Structure 1
Amino acid sequence: MSTAPEVAPHVTTAEQPHPVVGAATALLAAYTPGKRFLATPTRTLLTTGTHAEVPHDERPLPTRVTTTLAEASRAGINEPYVVGAVPFDHTAPAALTVPETLRTAPPLAADPLIALPTETPDPAGWQLRPVPSPEEYGAGVAAAVDRMWRGDFSKVVLARTLELTAPAPLDLPAMLQRLARRDPSGHTFALPTAPGRTLIGASPELLVSRRGRQVVANPLAGSTPRSDDLAEDVRRAAALLESAKDLHEHSVVVDGVHQALASFCTDLTVPPHPTLVRTATMWHLSTTVTGTLATPDASALELACALHPTPAVCGTPTATAREVIRETEPFDRGFFAGVVGWGDANGDGEWVVTIRCAEAEDRSLRLYAGAGVVAASDPAAETAETGAKFRTFLNAVGVDL
């Protein structure tokens, strides 16, 4: 076991001709199942081995992480990080570890080699099964809308899954390459969550980051599919910015983030109007919330736990929305709509909402996609939105719905 991680934050090895060219893509190419890969707009991380796992007990998760990092420091780990995933249900065990070795590089988007094409996936032989069926999902949306008109709650995020079975064992490194190269400015991850099981995806949504006392959150809510036709794509983006339904859905999420962070910060800047964020498959309404911590005591993970789950993945009021999710969704969300990211012993870190993801095991993938349901929602439109969100991962495996 190594006694110190290989840490080179934002620095590559000396033989690189330029500090950016090839550094991040080398880590992407070095990923194999069992390792932990995480790429964010600020850095690229690849870990091997496990020095320590964060235990699951009655203590708050940030306390357990702080203790585990302190113990790793005393054991000789230099600048220990914790990396991994937190499930949607905060009472379920997390998959967070202090790795034996850690390699870092600049962000993927800063590496010119990320623009190189990847091998086209072979779509042959995949078997697909939606759970629930699109019809059942639409009925669940309609039932939720009826309850909202009765005043029971104001928003719920309902998800559905797509189970894919391949004729041969999955090629996770190839999937990760395609996800990362398709949206290199986002948050791409491949993290083991159980023996033989990997959480893999490319999320557009930063839950919260902390650097020193500076805090950033970037809630996304309100979406529309991209179009291959440029004029139509622009029209859809403009329509999203004017959609009363989507603007209301977005404001609910931003208000929730504002309220959750207010008790930690001396000041918060919340823009009055959202902007747009695009991925390869979707347009999203986006608001970047920034603030300054009142004290340096709150870690990035503590902030993430205070925010999670935001109305962007659960609903509001939270307790009622959770109950509607339990009653409506015929599956356990697991790590979907949870949090993935990293944190260090200083409390800095980045934590991302776990969307546009799949759980991979042997020859099977379970894809997840959700849509925010408000009183103005149309069941057919929300079903279509989840289908569009599946495209992020379906493109990575070469499958069409």
Structure 2
Amino acid sequence: MTTAFEAHEAPAALPAAGDLLAAYRPSPSGAFLAGPTGTLLARGVDRAVTDPATATALLRDLGPDSTGVVIGAIPFAPGRPARLFVPTDLRRAGPVAEDPFFEPAAPAPADRIWRQTPVPAPQVYADAVAEAVRLLAEDPELAKVVLARTLELSTPGGADLPAMLHRLIHRDPSGYTFAVPAGGDATLVGASPELLVSRRGRAVVSNPLAGSAARCGDLAEDLRRAAALLESPKDLAEHAFVVDAVRRALAPYCDDLVVPERPTLLRTAAMWHLSTTVTGTLRDPGTSALDLALALHPTPAVCGTPTDRARELIAELEPFDRDLYTGVVGWGDARGDGEWVVTLRCAEAEGDRLRLYAGAGVVAASDPAAELAETGAKFRTFLHAVGLENAS
């Protein structure tokens, strides 16, 4: 089947994924996306879009034969400006896995010293989780809230973002690696494991993740953790909230929705995740991938249940602005096809600073120390990319 990455060029004309990564340079008018279905490099801004609803209308106006796409990121909070744009130049390539010349990334410089500042402090985060657990016990309608924390890294000269992207891709080659403008001179860079939604013709796929366990270097212990996650009542309940929300959000748009009864395991270099792949057939071909992404966002995996109450608690208990973290990042084309992922395992890079984000789903059975440890494990994706193994 012809993919959206191939639709406007013969496959033989496509450059290699490594060529696009080598050509990427961070800028307010450049973006790089790599995933299991292909690679995109966007340069130049034909039109900036701050309202996602405007983006869907703009793509429809371009017409189904247009080669135009919209690319970028949508924030977590409603009403905040999106960082979307229609590029003047777009290059496509196949997946990294199909590039035989995509060589392993060079290790991060061993002599680079990073100053680390957690926001909030670890104990403050654990206390916030404990407060959320208390409120969950008091409010029968509140089922889950996702609480996040950040880790500020700084070093003279900042991070080498193309090199970091290279390491992130090799660490989790089946994930979704991205670098998109985040406003001003900032860049949102990350390697998300979670597909919010993709649309290819009338085929719709969503892959919600919820319920996690840290990986372990010891094989026997790693497998034990994976098996325990598959049987964990707390994690299975957390996962069920998310899958049910995805099913309900897609049902008005799709026929033949297939929702497996039990989750499987998805493995990244740092984490095991409970994973369910939901598939369906689009009812109205005029519904775009971005329309579906906006209908799904935010899922309980990044916010909580019910959404409005969870958002209130996040604002009360998190001492920072999430901005694009736990938003949506990806692309959509004029025919309505596209791929949008949840903005996880990400950082905002600007100047000497790199702000890392990680969160955990809090339910009534949550243990504050365990949720703190989970966020620490999720930081490892980026710590490895800059040459650090653990947060100080």
- TM normalised by structure 2 equals 0.94
Shift in Å, 1:117? 3.9
Maintained 8 Å contact 1:8/1:103: no
Tell me if the contact between 1:130 and 1:161 (Cα under 8 Å) persists in the aligned partners.
yes
| Residue number in structure 2 paired with 1:25 | 18
Distance in 2 of aligned mates of 1:252 and 1:329: 22
Instruction: Using the TM superposition, give the Cα deviation of residue 310 of structure 1 relative to its aligned residue in structure 2, in angstroms.
Output: 0.1
For the pair 1:192 / 2:181, whether they are aligned, the reply is yes
Structure 2 counterpart SS, 1:298: coil
Distance 1:221 1:325, change over 3 A: same
Measured after TM superposition, the shift of residue 71 of structure 1 is 5.4
Shift of 1:213: 1.2
Runs of 4+ in 1 over 6 A off after TM superposition: none
From 98, 111, 115, the equivalent of 1:127 is 115
What is the one-letter code of the residue matched to 2:57?
T
User: 2:120 touches 2:150 (CA, 8 Å); kept in 1?
Assistant: yes
Q: 2:89 aligns with which of 101, 111, 125?
A: 101
Equivalent residue in structure 2 for 1:52, among 47, 54, 66: 47
* Superposed counterparts of 1:1-400, under 5 Å: 11-13=11-13, 23-34=16-27, 35-56=30-51, 61-62=52-53, 64-70=54-60, 78-114=66-102, 116-122=104-110, 124-152=112-140, 153-399=142-388, 400=390
Q: In the aligned structure 1, how far is the partner of 2:206 from the partner of 2:60?
A: 26
- 1:188, 1:202 within 8 Å by CA — same for their partners in 2? yes
Cα shift readout 1:263-315 (whole Å, capped 9, x = no counterpart): 11122100000000011110000000001111112111111111100000000
The equivalent of 1:3 in structure 2 is none
Which residues of structure 1 form unaligned runs of 5+?
1-5, 14-18
- Give unpaired runs (5+ residues) of structure 2: 1-5
**SS of 1:112's equivalent?**
coil
The one-letter amino acid paired with 2:192 is: S
Q: 1: distance between equivalents of 2:87 and 2:279?
A: 30
Deviates more, 1:385-394 or 1:175-184: 175-184
| Contact 1:208–1:218 under 8 Å retained in 2 | yes
TM-score (norm 1): 0.92
CA distance in structure 2 between the aligned counterparts of 1:66 and 1:317, rounded to whole angstroms? 27
Offset at residue 144 of structure 1 (A): 0.5
**Deviation, structure 1 residue 198:** 0.1
Letter in 2 for 1:262: A
Instruction: Tell me, in whole angstroms, the C-alpha distance in 1 between the residues paired with 2:137 and 2:339.
Output: 37
- Give, in angstroms, the shift of residue 392 of structure 1: 0.4
Does the 8 Å contact 1:123/1:397 carry over to 2?
no
1:204-239 CA-to-partner distances (Å, cap 9, x unmatched) read 000001111111000000000111111111111111
Aligned residues: 383
**TM superposition shift of 1:149:** 1.0
**Structure 2 SS opposite 1:79:** coil
CA distance in 1, matches of 2:50, 2:124: 38
2:3 aligns to what? Answer: none
